[in-house]
Amino acid sequence: MTESANGEQDTRIGVFLVDDHGLFRAGVRAELERAVPDVEVVGEAGSVEEAVAGIRHLRPDVVLLDVHMPDGGGAEVLRRIRPELPDVVFLALSVSDAAEDVIAVIRAGARGYVTKTISGRELADAVRRVHTGDAVFSPRLAGFVLDAFSDRPGAAPHSDPELDMLTPRERDVLRLLARGYAYKEIAGELFISVKTVETHVSSVLRKTQMSNRYELSRWASDRRLV
Partner 1 sequence: MGCVNASPTSVRPSSAPPLVRWRNGRFVAGVAGGVADHLGVPVLWVRVAFAALAVVNGAGIAAYGLLWMFVRQEQDDVERELSPVERQQAFGLAALGIAVAFAGSAIGSPIVGWVVGPLGVAAIGAAVVWREADESQRRRWTEGALQTSRSTKLRVIAGALFVAVGITVFLLANLELGQLQFAVLAVVSTLAGVAVITVPWWLRLVRDLGEERRERIIEAERAEIAAHLHDSVLQTLALIQRQADQPREVVRLARGQERELRAWLYGPTGYGRRGGGDPALESGFTEALTKAAAEVEDTYAMDVRPVVVGSDRPLDDGLRALLLAAREAMVNAAKHSGAAEISVFAEIEPAEVNVFVRDRGVGFDPAAVPEDRHGLAESVRGRMERHGGTVRLRTAPGEGTEVHLRMPVEEKPDEEESP
Q: Which amino acid is at 212?
A: N
57 or 68: CB nearest partner 1: 68
Q: Residue 130 Cβ, how far from partner 1 at the closest point, in Å?
A: 21
**Would you put residue 95 in left (φ > 0), alpha (ψ -120 to 50) or beta?**
alpha
113 or 181: CB nearest partner 1: 181
Residue 160: how many CA atoms within 13 Å on its side-chain side? 9
Q: Residue 12 Cβ, how far from partner 1 at the closest point, in Å?
A: 29
Q: Residue 147 Cβ, how far from partner 1 at the closest point, in Å?
A: 5
Q: Write out the H or E segment, with its range, that includes residue 76.
A: helix 73-81
Task: Tell me 160's DSSP state.
Answer: -
96 or 202: CB nearest partner 1: 96
82 or 140: CB nearest partner 1: 140
Among candidates 142, 166, 163, 174, which has minimal Cα distance to 211? 163
Buried b / exposed e over 108-134, threshold 16 CB at 10 Å, is bbbbbbbebebebeebbbbbbbbbeeb
Q: Residue 178 Cβ, how far from partner 1 at the closest point, in Å?
A: 5
Distance CA 128, CA 61 (A): 10
Burial of 149 by CB count in 10 Å (0-12 exposed, 13-18 middle, 19+ buried)?
Answer: buried
Q: Give contact residues for partner 1 (rule: CB under 8 A).
A: 20-21, 68-71, 73, 95-98, 117, 139-140, 142-143, 146-147, 150, 152-154, 175, 178-181
70 or 133: CB nearest partner 1: 70
Q: Residue 207 Cβ, how far from partner 1 at the closest point, in Å?
A: 17
